[in-house]
A and B are shown apart, each in its own frame.
Chain A
C-alpha cells in the first residue's frame, strides 16, 4: 500500500504520530496519492459503493442490536417494537433490510464488471479470490440476519438451508447439531445465528482491507485491460476518483432511498411478517432474491446430496475462474467472441434467479436444468476453449494514447 506517498506531516501532532506509527502516510499513499488509471468508467465506482454499503449495514446493525431481543418468544415482537416505538426505528430497520439487497445489487455489478474486463487475471488473481470469500461471507451474514427476525420465512428458510448441510456425508449430522444447537431450528439456533450475524460483517471488513491491500500492489485494472505504462496514464486517486466515487455513491443513495421510503417491502417476502410457527409450513419456501440462482441449481438436481454438491461446485467454480480463462487479453472490448458469451452468461444467471423463485415442476424444472448445465458449460468449456481459439482485436498502445484519440474524435478539430 505504501511507496506512492511523498507525504510529509507538517503539524507537530502529525509529526509525533508519524514517527511512532506511520499511519498517516499509509493512508495518504492509499487514498490520496495513489496513481489510478485515468480511463476508469462508472463500473469502477462500485468498489466504493460496496464500502459504503458495508458501513451502512454495520452502523444500522449496531443500533438495531441495541433494541433487538434474540429469543424465540421475543425476536419477532422486538422487531415490531423497533418499527413502532424506537425513534426512527422504522428508518433504521428499513435501511438495514433494504441495505442487504442494495449490497448484493452492488456486489453482483462489481463481480460482473470483473468478469467483463478480465480483472481476475494475472497479476490480480488473489484480489478476485479475496472477493469471492467476501461474497461468501456476505451470503452468510444475510442469511443469519434474515433468520433472526424469526418470521415464517426466517424459520422455514433456516430449516431448509441448515438441512442441506445435513446431506453432507460423514460430517453432516454433526454439522447439523452444531448449527442448530439442538435437534431442530430453535432458540439456541436463533442465539448463535445472532452472534454470528454480529460477527461476520467485521470479518468482511477485515477481508476488505486485504482485498484493497492486494489491489494496491498491481494497481487497478481498467476498461482497456492493458497495463499502466507510466505517469501519463494515471491520475492521483484524490481528487479525481474521490469526487467521482462520491458522486456515484450519492446516485446509489438515491436508488437506495426509493426503496427505503417508497417501497420498503417490495424486495421482501410477505410471509416474513407472520411470526415463525413450526406447525404451519408456508406454501412456497423461497430464499431472498440474491440467493435464488443457487437455489435453482440445488433444486434442478433430484438427488439431495448431488444437488448440494452442484450448488457447492457452482460457488467453488468462482474461485477457479482465473485459471479457467486461458485468454491473455483481459478486456472483453478486444475479445469479440467472449463479449457475446459474457452476455449469454448474464442472461443465464438471471434465468437461474427467475427459476429459483418458481416451484420446481414442469417447464420451470426443464429450464432450470438447462440453465444449470449452461452455468457449468460456460466456465468449464467455453472459458478455457475461447482463450485458445479466439483472435483478439489489436490492443491500443497505451491508456493515455487511447484517451487522447477518444477525446480528439469526440471534439470537432
Chain B
C-alpha cells in the first residue's frame, strides 16, 4: 500500500515539474539564445555567494549607479542577513559617501546631509526627464527588479552585459545605438558599460568583463529577491513536514477504510 503513496507522491512531483519545465523552456526572448551561468543561487538549496554580492555591489556602485537607480533598496539592506552582509559600520560608511535632501528644518529650510543606513540608495537622477536628458533621450530603467522583469533574468542581464559586438555587415544602426546580440531588436541605447579591469575589486579578484558581469547580475538577483535564502530554507522545512504529515494521513486513511475493502 505504501506503493500507492509513492505513486501519488511521485505524481505530484512530476506534475509540478511537467508544468514548470516547459514554462522555463518557453522563455526564448526576442534577442539571441541566452548564455547560461551556473549560479550559486540556482536550485532548491541555492544561496548567494556573499563575496560575489559584495563584488557585484562594488560594480553597481562604481559603474551602473552613474545611470541606474535601485529604488527599492535601502543602505540598511546591505547589512541584512541573506544579502552581501556588510557589517553595520561598513554600511554606515558606504551610506555616508552619498548626500540626501532632508528637512524642512526649524527655519523651514531644506538641507543636505550624509545618507544614513535607513535611507533609500541614492538615485543618480532626480527624475526620468533628467535621466533621459543625460542619456541621449533613452531612459536607464531602475534595476531593483530587473532580474524578475525579464525571462530568465540573471542570465539575461549577464548576457546583455557580455553581448556587445560590432554591428554585422549590412545592419544599419540608429544614432547613438549599440549592437547587442541579446537585446530584443539588437540595438540598445546603453553604451557597453563594462570592460576588463574597469573596477579594482576590494577582495583582489581579477576584474575580467565576464567576472564583473556575473557579479553584478548576482547582485541584481539579490536586489530583486532579497528573501531568496529565507524562501529556500523555509521551503525545505515545509516540504519535509508535509511529506511526513501526508505519510501519517495515508496510514490513517488505510486503517480507517480497512473494514470497507
Contacts and interface: CB of A to CB of B under 8 A. Distances in A.
Contacts of B8: 42, 251
Nearest to A80: B72
Given A243-B252, A267-B23, A257 B242 contact: yes
A265 B224 CA distance: 12
A183 interface: no
A270 interface: yes
A83 B231 CA distance: 12
Given A240-B257, A271-B149, A261 B239 contact: yes
Nearest to B228: A90
Contacts of B246: 247, 250-251, 254
B1 interface: no
A68 B246 CA distance: 35
Contacts of A235: 260
A11 interface: no
A77 interface: yes
A51 interface: no
Interface string B139-159: 001001100111101000000
Given A84-B226, A247-B250, A270 B150 contact: yes
28 contacts: A77-B72, A80-B144, A80-B145, A90-B230, A91-B234, A235-B260, A240-B257, A243-B249, A247-B246, A247-B253, A250-B242, A250-B246, A251-B246, A254-B12, A254-B242, A254-B246, A255-B16, A258-B16, A258-B239, A261-B232, A261-B234, A261-B235, A267-B19, A267-B23, A270-B153, A271-B149, A273-B148, A403-B260
Interface of B: 8-9, 12-13, 15-16, 19-20, 23-24, 30, 44, 72, 77, 141, 144-145, 148-151, 153, 184, 224, 226-227, 230-232, 234-236, 238-239, 242-243, 245-246, 249-250, 252-253, 256-257, 260-261
A260 B235 contact: yes
Contacts, number: 100
A96 to B, nearest CB: 15
Given A80-B72, A274-B145, A274-B149, A255 B227 contact: no
Contacts of A84: 72, 77, 226-227
B261 A261 contact: no
B23 A266 contact: yes
A202 B129 CA distance: 44
Contacts of A265: 148
A193 interface: no
Contacts of B153: 270
A250 B245 CA distance: 8
Nearest to B242: A254
A38 interface: yes
B239 A254 contact: yes
B180 to A, nearest CB: 17
A244 B249 CA distance: 8
Nearest to A151: B149
